[in-house]
Amino acid sequence: MVENMEYILKMDKQGRIVLPAHIRKAIGIKEGEELLVRLNGSRIIIEPFSKDLKKGIEEWINLVRNSNLEVFTEKIEESWKWMSYEYARRKLGLS
């Protein structure tokens, strides 16, 4: 795989950009394929999205949703933990 390619692209009025053919070829994407777009701070990351990956993610989500696990089933002394109980619950979307 080719690394460290940098190009300046223009966005049209509808917010679209065109990835040059040699970039699409370098990462192995073809017309009609799905792409995964992630936002990391001010960076936009575009990657090929594998159907197998999508299926795996869906299976993992179903497994987690169908599990009967209890989060934080026991109280632990707050003084030694590196993050608070409330912070962890917020991050897990449980508050």
**Residue 50: how many CB atoms within 10 A of its CB?**
13
Residue 76 or residue 48, greater confidence:
48
Q: What is the pLDDT of residue 80?
A: 53
Question: pLDDT confidence of 74, banded at 50, 70, 90?
Answer: low
CA distance 60 to 58: 5
CA distance 16 to 19: 10
Domains annotated for the chain, with CATH where assigned, are 1-53 (2.10.260.10)
pLDDT in tens, 13-42: 999 999 999 888 888 888 988 888 999 999
Q: What is the pLDDT of residue 95?
A: 64
The β-bridge relationship of strands 43-48 and 35-40 is antiparallel
Q: What is the pLDDT of residue 64?
A: 84
Question: pLDDT confidence of 87, banded at 50, 70, 90?
Answer: confident
- The angle subtended at Cα 75 by Cα 64 and Cα 65, nearest 5°, is 10
- Greatest CA separation found in the chain? 57
